[in-house]
Structure 1
Amino acid sequence: MQLDETMLLSMDPAERQALLVSTPEDQWFERKSARVTADVFAKSIIGMANAEGGLVVVGLSDGVVEELSAHARHINELRRVAQTHCAPPPRVRFAELPVDDGKVVLLADVSPGRTVHESTSGHCYLRVGDSTMKLSAAQREELLYDRGAAEYEARPTPGITVGSLDAGLVDGLRQAIGAQGNDERVLAARSLLDLHGEVTIAAFLLLAPRPQELMPYAHVRVLRYLSAHAGTGGRQSLADDGDRRIEGPIPHVIEQAAALVEEWMPRRRALREDGKFGPVDVVPRDAWLEGLVNAVVHRSYSMAGDHIRVHLYPDRVEIESPGRFPGIVDPERPLEIARYARNPRIARVCNDLGITQEKGEGIVRIFDEMRMRGLADPIYRQTSGSVRLTLLSTPRLDAETEARLPGGAHGVLEVLRAAGRPLGTGEIAAGIGRRRPATIRALKALQEVGEVVWEGKSAKDPRATWRLPTGD
């Protein structure tokens, strides 16, 4: 259960204390002693403001409620931390909550920022799971680079009022977070209203009956192919009735798109977990579902005119979503990508509704699911305006072979599989977005382990091509 100020206010002091003491720290909740320094408290505030916001409770140490009255002057200093130790000051709302034995704790409710916040000493922090990490200069640059898209979901939606939203969805959110009061209180509890009480784009995408009336690009398109290659014109392999668009509020889009993908997922006969032979998805459900949810929750909604596409081939699943990885991260090393929610409000509500876990393990989980099935590692490729995730049904290379492959090698295999024909070195280099020398290194490494075959009349044959081994 996620803690929420409105939920805490509705409890009696003893129940409130029990919950504050027992709830594990996570992405949105942290405990601090009344003796916490202003610098350390500022670090927590900044980390949450740069992520999805959250609650910091002051006055709890090792499960014991401290006496705040003994630290009155220091508590007043903590109340001013946002202005005295942060630049620019994040939005923080303070409240003193009575707990058992007549004591009180200080609650800081931090809203997700619309810009990058740092300490007055120049340090930048980000809340990741149950800890707050200090960002390097490069990581801060990543955060700054992508903050414009994060700010987009916080903008008001012109002409939309709280009454325009789906009452059932709002009630579902109210129950999920244990909030009380009118709809405005529920939305405010998740920063879904702006400073002027206007409905934000995040609220509209999550809770409106049909957001596509104003944002037609906010949908998921699922396409099913009969061949491993899409083809063009008369050779197109798109199945009859194999192109569907899923529309509606985000929770419904995820649910309905997942149901359609599950229905259309290619299957093969294999030994199942129950020890019997039967139909098995070519790509494990938990892997593609995590990829789909990540695409919907973290896509760039500011990129009007583009939408999420899920391509189902007999041998793979491809999920492409608008928006690049934040900043300068390397898609060739996806497991090293620091957790960052482009849409913090959307991400948090989806967690409230049980759609996501938001523990920073999305990419890791996809890798784990594929490896547990003995399948090739997921491949992430970044274009000028999107990220594409490819989940292959081919067996995973052994660890020793993987260690011998340079960067770009998996991209080479993906390009050759997608093309369905032999390609020249230049074509492959263009496909993976790398220079020719780096592409040649990757090709030769793959040739050494038997993953690609070179065909040409001589070492300098300009018409020489590379192909996958027969039967791949």
Structure 2
Amino acid sequence: MKTAARLKTSSIDVQALLEQGMGPTLHWFPADVPLSRLAAVLAGMANTHGGTLLLGIAPRSAQILGLSHPHACLDQVFQAALLLDPPLVLPVPCLSPVTAVGSHPSQVLVVTVPAGLPNIYSLEGRYLGREGSQTNPLSARQLRHLLMERGVIQFESQAPPGATLDDLDPLKISAYLEALGLPGGDAPEVILLGRGCLQATASRPVAGDDRARPGLEIARSQLRPTYAALLLFGKQPQRWLPNAIILAARFSGRTLTDHFIKREIRGVLPDQLHQAEAFIRDHLTREVQLVGLAHQETPLFPLEALRELLVNAVAHRDYNIQGDNIHIHMFADRIEIHSPGGLPGPMTLDNLLEARFSRNPVIMQSLADLGFVERLGYGLKRVVEAMLRGGLRKPRFEETAGVFCVTLQAAGESRSRPAYSSELKPYQDIDLNPRQEQALAFLLSRRRITSRDYQELCPDVHAETLRRDLVDLVERGLLIKVGDKRATYYILKR
């Protein structure tokens, strides 16, 4: 016969848990709980955010009753888990030493239901979830959301009503097919269907193209573009998903203020990525150092890390959420990227660097085909490695209110502004972009600046952008323009 000594013990503070009260992730029962009730709570937690279940506690008074037969309770837990469809595989429960009613030593069985499970669990045909301390049937809307969240069905693979092949841009499709470089002469529709970008609604031959593969019996009129196809190749992606945009903002200080530079980025996802990266490059603070007579610049954050985070946000956001956008917030000391939708499937904050799961596998693979992704599934790990190589702290990953947020933090005050920060203090309350800050710093040391000087300060920025920067400084009364044409230079207005 087994003995209780063979069960692992836990150092969990049962009394502290009881003081929290029951909630979505915490419940308890006495040892003689009916199997069906136990199974229902297990299913509810498994379909929500996981949780902890205690056996050996009075349900109403939260008094510690303890267990007379720990192994019988353990068997009961496993029997309840087997009642679910599919069967719920649990970590082996542990025993926690407690003082029961009457001040005699006893034990409580601690059952852990992991968060981020890959399946959806039913009990006797019912799909259950946790709401507060209750276990209730999921509504049709909740179940549909859970199916998408767990990857059982993907929103990206659905075809919006009314969308046709005419809503796709042939030039964008051609560029994608060229990037694929597939051998053979398959029709574009055949390739897109195989890549998960089209949905077939009938079974008739593809007419008018003898290049179509034998056996593919689908009429063009019965092919529908999916949300993924419209986001990747659509003529007007925001017609179908109005919130599939990126809102980028650059704040001059360290907090959200009413004065900022912003850009609303629209279009297909590849174009959004290019535009978002350009915005970050234009507004990313750079550390400027004088080495002899030359200027050396170092971006505040590795561009490689920022590029990976942009791709991650665009590829993994929940496009089924229609009330929010991707947000890029650039501050003097950090960058935050907010993506609608919590972590998908089995991914949690604890395993996100190792877990491999995509909410939008078609979009992710297509972006990889287009060269935006080097190795599928390793993006966040590369972000961490790039930050550490640059002598910066690890990114901060957060999941709050259905939004996944990544924060890149600067190393310290010395890297949050150019090396001339003490001289620039009179301008700290003026909303300047990083390039303009560099121009003012240059002027403070050299007294005058030409367009050529400014271009050497910012070699990766288009000349027209730099011209607009200088015009803006003149219009705001910070600079005076002297001379004309090639003889033009600028000085500070004292």
- Name the TM-score, length of structure 2 as normaliser: 0.48
Q: What is the aligned partner in structure 2 of residue 177 from structure 1?
A: 180
SS across alignment from 1:335: coil
SS across alignment from 2:371: coil
Deviation of residue 315 (structure 1)?
1.0
SS across alignment from 1:257: helix
Query: 2-side partners of 1:150 and 1:267: how far apart?
Result: 44
Deviation of residue 281 (structure 1)?
1.2
* Corresponding residue pairs, total: 256
Cα separation, partners in 2 of 1:181 and 1:348, compared to 1, 3 Å: same
Which is worse superposed, 141-150 or 367-376?
A: 141-150
Q: 2:336 aligns with which of 315, 318, 332?
A: 318
SS across alignment from 2:278: helix
Query: 2-side partners of 1:163 and 1:139: how far apart?
Result: 42
Verify: 1:266 aligned to 2:285, yes or no.
yes
Query: 1-side partners of 2:290 and 2:383: how far apart?
Result: 22
Deviation of residue 121 (structure 1)?
11
Deviation of residue 167 (structure 1)?
0.6
Residues 37-436 of structure 1 correspond to what in structure 2 (within 5 A)? 138=114, 141-142=117-118, 144=120, 145=146, 146-147=149-150, 151-179=154-182, 180-196=185-201, 197-231=223-257, 236=258, 238-239=259-260, 242-270=261-289, 278-327=296-345, 329-331=347-349, 334-336=352-354, 338-394=355-411
SS across alignment from 1:381: strand
In 1, are the aligned partners of 2:347 and 2:357 still within 8 Å (CA)?
A: no
SS across alignment from 1:320: strand
In 2, are the aligned partners of 1:380 and 1:387 still within 8 Å (CA)?
A: yes
Give, as a single letter, the amino acid of the residue that structure 2 aligns with 1:283. F
In 2, are the aligned partners of 1:322 and 1:386 still within 8 Å (CA)?
A: yes
Query: 2-side partners of 1:363 and 1:271: how far apart?
Result: 34
In 1, are the aligned partners of 2:116 and 2:346 still within 8 Å (CA)?
A: no
Q: Deviations over 1:252-294 (max 9, x none)?
A: 111111111111111122599xxx7522211111111111110
Deviation of residue 230 (structure 1)?
1.3
Cα separation, partners in 2 of 1:140 and 1:256, compared to 1, 3 Å: closer
Give, as a single letter, the amino acid of the residue that structure 1 aligns with 2:372. I
Higher RCO, Cα 8 Å, sep 6+ = 1
Deviation of residue 375 (structure 1)?
0.3
Identity level (%): 31
Cα separation, partners in 2 of 1:319 and 1:261, compared to 1, 3 Å: same
Cα separation, partners in 2 of 1:368 and 1:121, compared to 1, 3 Å: same
In 1, are the aligned partners of 2:232 and 2:268 still within 8 Å (CA)?
A: yes
Query: 2-side partners of 1:351 and 1:170: how far apart?
Result: 15
Query: 2-side partners of 1:155 and 1:303: how far apart?
Result: 14
In 2, are the aligned partners of 1:153 and 1:200 still within 8 Å (CA)?
A: yes
In 1, are the aligned partners of 2:340 and 2:403 still within 8 Å (CA)?
A: yes
Cα separation, partners in 2 of 1:140 and 1:379, compared to 1, 3 Å: closer
Give, as a single letter, the amino acid of the residue that structure 1 aligns with 2:233. L
Query: 2-side partners of 1:139 and 1:271: how far apart?
Result: 51
In 1, are the aligned partners of 2:353 and 2:378 still within 8 Å (CA)?
A: no
In 1, are the aligned partners of 2:305 and 2:382 still within 8 Å (CA)?
A: yes
Give, as a single letter, the amino acid of the residue that structure 2 aligns with 1:181. D
Deviation of residue 157 (structure 1)?
2.1
In 2, are the aligned partners of 1:287 and 1:370 still within 8 Å (CA)?
A: yes
In 2, are the aligned partners of 1:142 and 1:326 still within 8 Å (CA)?
A: no
Query: 2-side partners of 1:198 and 1:177: how far apart?
Result: 21
SS across alignment from 1:324: coil
Q: Tell me, which stretches of 5 or more residues in structure 1 are unaligned?
A: 1-119, 124-136, 397-472
Cα separation, partners in 2 of 1:394 and 1:214, compared to 1, 3 Å: same
Give, as a single letter, the amino acid of the residue that structure 2 aligns with 1:191. G
Q: What is the aligned partner in structure 1 of residue 481 from structure 2?
A: none
Cα separation, partners in 2 of 1:357 and 1:143, compared to 1, 3 Å: farther
Give, as a single letter, the amino acid of the residue that structure 1 aligns with 2:403. S
Query: 1-side partners of 2:178 and 2:278: how far apart?
Result: 25
Give, as a single letter, the amino acid of the residue that structure 1 aligns with 2:117. E
Query: 2-side partners of 1:147 and 1:295: how far apart?
Result: 18
Q: Deviations over 1:379-423 (max 9, x none)?
A: 011112100100011269xxxxxxxxxxxxxxxxxxxxxxxxxxx
Deviation of residue 149 (structure 1)?
8.4
In 1, are the aligned partners of 2:151 and 2:359 still within 8 Å (CA)?
A: no
Give, as a single letter, the amino acid of the residue that structure 1 aligns with 2:393. A
Query: 2-side partners of 1:271 and 1:342: how far apart?
Result: 47
Query: 2-side partners of 1:149 and 1:323: how far apart?
Result: 16
Deviation of residue 138 (structure 1)?
4.5
Cα separation, partners in 2 of 1:203 and 1:329, compared to 1, 3 Å: closer
In 2, are the aligned partners of 1:150 and 1:343 still within 8 Å (CA)?
A: no
In 2, are the aligned partners of 1:162 and 1:183 still within 8 Å (CA)?
A: no
Deviation of residue 194 (structure 1)?
1.7
Query: 1-side partners of 2:343 and 2:248: how far apart?
Result: 22
Query: 1-side partners of 2:251 and 2:272: how far apart?
Result: 21
Q: Deviations over 1:35-68 (max 9, x none)?
A: xxxxxxxxxxxxxxxxxxxxxxxxxxxxxxxxxx
In 2, are the aligned partners of 1:210 and 1:247 still within 8 Å (CA)?
A: no
Q: Deviations over 1:442-464 (max 9, x none)?
A: xxxxxxxxxxxxxxxxxxxxxxx
Give, as a single letter, the amino acid of the residue that structure 2 aligns with 1:172. A
In 2, are the aligned partners of 1:149 and 1:302 still within 8 Å (CA)?
A: no
Q: Tell me, which stretches of 5 or more residues in structure 2 are unaligned?
A: 1-85, 90-112, 121-145, 202-222, 414-494
Query: 1-side partners of 2:286 and 2:153: how far apart?
Result: 38
In 1, are the aligned partners of 2:164 and 2:225 still within 8 Å (CA)?
A: yes
Q: What is the aligned partner in structure 1 of residue 98 from structure 2?
A: none
